[in-house]
Each structure stands twice: as C-alpha cells, then as structure tokens.
A and B are shown apart, each in its own frame.
Chain A
C-alpha cells in the first residue's frame, strides 16, 4: 500500500525520514493492536474449539481411551439416526413456540413502556429484567412444579374448572409448550428492554405530530415504532435463533425421571441435550462432536435465512 500524496503536498512540514517511517509503522500497527484482544480471545475460546470440534467429529473418540479415525462415518450415521432427527424436530418446534410469542410480547410491551404518560415507568422497566436474572435452573424447577400432572398449580386450576389434568412433561406437545413458556418468560423482558432502548431514540416530536394528525396508538406503533425498530428486530431474531437452537437446561430439568432424554420417548430432547447424552453419558465424543457440527450448520443456516428474510420484509407503508 503506497500513498500518492506526500506530507508536503497537503501543506505539512517534511518530517525527518526515520520519524516518518516510525510513525507510518505505528499508524499501521496501532489499530490492529487495539482490536487484537477481541480476536485473540475469539481465537482461543471460539475458533480453536470450533475447529477442534470439526476435527474430533472425524474420529471414534473415547475421551479416556482410543481415538480411531473414521472419516465421515459419524456424519453418515447421524443422517440415519432417528434420534437425531427427533431432536432436530423438537429443537425447531420449541424454538418456534418460544421465539414468536416472545418477540411479539416484547414489541407490544416496549411500545407501552415507551408511553409518555406511564407512571412509575422506571419501576416497570426494571422489573422486566427480573425473569432474565433469575437462574435458569430455579426457573425450570418452579415451572416443573407448577405444571406437574398431579400436584401442579395449573392442573389444580384446570381441575377446579372441571377439565382433565394435562400431562405436560410426558406428552410431545405439552413438553414443548412447557419449555417454550419457560424460555419466553425468561427472555421477553430482556428483548423488550432492547426494543425500548431503540424506541427512546425516536424523537418524541414525531409521536406528538402523529397524535395531532389523529393517529391512534396502533397506527403510531405500526408507522413510527415498527420502522424505527427494524434493525434491532433483525438483531433479536438472529440472536434468539442462536439461543433458541441451543436450549438445554430447561429441557434437562423438567423431566428428571429420564433427564438426558427429556422423557421416555425423547419427547423433548433437544439437539444440545442429545449431544450431551452422547458425549458425557455414552462417552462418544466423536459422535457428539458430529452433532455439534450439525447444530452449527443449522444455526448458521437459520440465522442467515432469518437475516435475509427480516431485512427484506418491510413494514407496510401507508
């Protein structure tokens, strides 16, 4: 890289040659030094483990025994493994059931919290974070008790109203709903605050002008809030895709009778739980790594697809 403009041409006094060289060197190096910490940390804790996972996936890898190279065998076995496809289905189902309501609730809440005449606004905004800072394990235990078949609060209420008890943890749909409720409960406040932060950047005057023009709350939401939120919505969709596909603790804890499979017929075993089962109870690290790679590909593909779609779908103008 050579520059065609010299210091004298832009009106600066000529520097001694060795000083120019040194300054040029530091100017080139300094920015890289500033950004280096992130990339070094990313390499050590992100990239190297990732590459190592790809490597392990090519082996029949017993953590305390032999490592036998098997090429792509783990992947071909994975493709024919009903348990893998079951886990993939469960994961996508739970992800959809949790992400869609979560983002919608957060959107509406953020809009309400941004209202000018809301009393105790700060209090309400802070309470949004309570579910998020509660430990996942505590959340899962409390929800599992509330949704218990025989002794849960929810089924007790259903019973009072004359309905049959619902067996949340043992049925496919029930367990997915239960996990989705937990995930939604945990994340909606966090997402709502992200939206709120973005909304606060919109000048009040715009809302006031809209109100003067006769636009009600719903119209204001659609035509002012939503367009303003578009970038952060894209962001939350991508991050919740990444998070949603990695659901683990909730699924692990709601079915403690058969924890690693999340129930007798693997009805809510997610991909991460399947990975954990293979790696840490079966000691099949190679197979577990192959599941990890498959999960990685899925996350990248879905996050990319979501980004593609959500940047193209624009709010209706009108």
Chain B
C-alpha cells in the first residue's frame, strides 16, 4: 500500500509528492462531496478517500494504524475522541509548521484550543461544531393543543424545568411519550451547556463535584419520574421505529443528528420543525482534521485542509452537507442565514444553530470525558428502564466511573 505513485520517488526526503494523498474520514458527513469540491480547484490532485466507518470506528482504526505505523496522510477525528490523541501529540504533525499559526484566528477560539497541546502545538483544524437545538413534530404538537410555530415553541421552554412541564402537558393530552430518552435528550444536552463539565480549567477531574453534571443528571431523572420518555435509546431499532410512528414528539438535536432523523423517518418530512434549546446555548460534537506524523504526503494533505477549511470552504460545505462552520466570520453571511431545511418545515437551521454557539461558555474536554459521559447516561438509562433505583443512581454512576477510568 505505497500511497504515492512510483514516478515521484523521493517522498521521504523533503521533496514530497503533493499530487496525491490518502484521506480517512467517517460516514455521514459527506467527505466525498467535500473531496469532489476540492477536485474542481485542484484537478491535478488525487484523493484516496476511505470512509472507514462511524466516528468511533474511524478513531479505532487510526489508533491501530498509528500503533502499526501505516498511516493515512489525512484523518478526520471526532471532537469526543480527540483528547486521547492530543495527549500523545508525538503521533501527529504540529500544524504550526505547515502554517496553522496564520489561520488559527479564523476558528472559534474555544474549538481550536481543543486541538492545541499544552506546549502550543496544533494537531487538528476544526471542520465543524455541534450547535444544539430541539427538533419537534409540529403536527403532533397541534394534536396535543400546543403551539406549533417555532418561535412560540421556543418560548414554551426557556428552562429545562419548563421543558419537562411542557412534556407533562403533551403526555397528559396524548397519552404518548414526549421525548425519546432522558440520557440523550436531556442529560447530554444540559451537561454541554455549562462552563465546566468533567474537568476543571486546569485539566483536573472534577466530575463528582461538577454542578453541571449533577444538574443534568437530576433533570434527566426528573423527566424519567415525570413519565414523559419513550425509553428508546438513540440509534437503536426501537428508536427508529418509534420515530417513524410518531411515538415521541421531541428529540434534542445537535446539528449532526438532523441527518439521522431524515434518514430514519423519511415519511415524516415536513412534519418536523426546529426550536431553540432550553438555556439557549450549547455545543455537542464537532470534528477535526489531523495529519499523522508518518504521513507520506503531509503537504498535499495540508493543501487540502487550507483550501476546504477556510471560512468560505466551510460555508460551502454547510450549504451542501449541513455541517456547521467552526469559523464565526461566516455566521452572518447570507449564504448561511438563508439556509432553510424543507424536511424541518423550512426552519432556518443556519441561524438557529449558530445562535446556540454565540453565548457559549467553553469547557475543557479531557481524555476520559467520553467514558464518564457513557457511565452517567447508562445509570440514567438503567433507572429509565425501570431497573435502577433513582435515589442510588448518582452514587452508582460515580462508582462505575471510578472503576472505569481507574481500571
């Protein structure tokens, strides 16, 4: 698998071949489209694109590749998986050497700081961020006697408590569940809305004392106790089936979830709409492009990053693939603000999602953030399924986390 063509032989010694590079991406973010766009401006460059799998599978494949020494030239890493790689920066090209210093001001500073090491090395350029909002079924809201206009709906829930109260009204009126599940639609949203999640600004683990985590956990349990959840874990068969049948009316939808709703329940097109999230702001997710240290053609990979991740490049990709730009200079651009999604009743998704980023308080994401989040949501799910005791759930989660990250 020698990635470079035989004609340009001197790949190892400075004179690198910038005519082709190998790119590992994950599915669902339309890397293909982005690569095709790039071919229009650089027809001479050959991109060997592999969509490895979902984001986690791609990170696993990258780990194996780094351990084994056969790496791609360019790789997309999801924000949640990034900290483990940032902790081992020796595996990646410090993008400052390629010119990242000059463009780092283009990106939301709290996002680019996630891929910046303690020594200041930049190992990834943020391709997108995960602004948050609420997707709801306007037709089902109407049946339940709730307002359907997205402005009005947003006003129903200035806070998460008001959101749960609305849920109770909906469930009382229809007899059906309001949200899909408490872990995904409440806990994971609320916990991403504070200025401190599981780590303090110095990078110390503080999940046990984190007010944000405790608030999010208690709100999720409150929703469970209110009986407004469909108890369907996100991305399962039951979740898709319930979504198709309208067995829940609301899903908390970070921008990357919109595609799943569209794909899972194509027949519900036009019945959905999007309203602001309780609390107004928050971010969940986003991805980064990185160049492994062993890349054969780092220059070709960097040329691609520089061209496609410029504010204009990200704006174009948003119009085409709905990945929210991490470059705030385009947030007022009519090309962004005018994007309306017909599947979601023409909601102006560009504005709604970028607004959720503007009031954002950044927080530190650490190497064990994902694990901690999984243990908390598992404890919530256990109560939701009727197996766990809500009074003991927090302590159980903390014990499990200690076990998981210590062991």
Contacts and interface: CB of A to CB of B under 8 A. Distances in A.
B285 to A, nearest CB: 17
Interface stretch (A129-137, A188-196, A227-235, A254-262): A254-262
A265 B382 contact: yes
B233 A257 contact: yes
Contact of B378 (A63, A82, A149, A265): A265
Nearest to B241: A151
24 contacts: A64-B66, A64-B67, A64-B85, A65-B88, A82-B403, A144-B237, A148-B237, A149-B231, A151-B237, A255-B233, A256-B233, A256-B236, A257-B381, A258-B377, A258-B378, A258-B381, A261-B374, A264-B379, A264-B381, A264-B385, A264-B388, A265-B387, A265-B388, A282-B404
Nearest to A80: B407
B364 interface: no
Contacts of A150: 232, 238, 241-242, 247
B60 interface: yes
Most chain A beta-carbon neighbours within 10 Å: one of B87, B370, B378: B378
A281 B63 CA distance: 10
B237 A264 contact: no
Nearest to B407: A81
B381 A283 contact: no
Interface string A111-153: 0000000000000000000000000000001001100111100
A287 B405 CA distance: 12
Interface in B31-79: 56, 60, 63-64, 66-67
Given A81-B407, A150-B242, A167 B381 contact: no
B166 interface: no
Nearest to A78: B407
A253 to B, nearest CB: 10
B307 to A, nearest CB: 28
Interface of B: 56, 60, 63-64, 66-67, 84-85, 87-88, 91, 181, 231-239, 241-242, 247, 370-371, 374, 377-382, 385, 387-388, 403-404, 407
Interface in A225-261: 255-258, 261
A83 interface: yes
A64 B88 contact: yes
A258 B233 contact: yes
A171 interface: yes
A272 to B, nearest CB: 15
Contacts of A62: 88
Contact of A264 (B234, B247, B382): B382
B66 A145 contact: no
A171 B387 contact: yes
Contacts of A65: 87-88
Contacts of A151: 237-238, 241-242
A53 interface: no
B111 to A, nearest CB: 23
A257 B236 contact: yes
A23 interface: no
A93 interface: no
A83 B241 contact: no
Contacts of A81: 403, 407
B237 A83 contact: no
Contacts of B239: 257
B60 A281 contact: yes
Nearest to A149: B238
Given A62-B88, A63-B63, A63-B64, A167 B385 contact: yes
Contacts of B379: 264
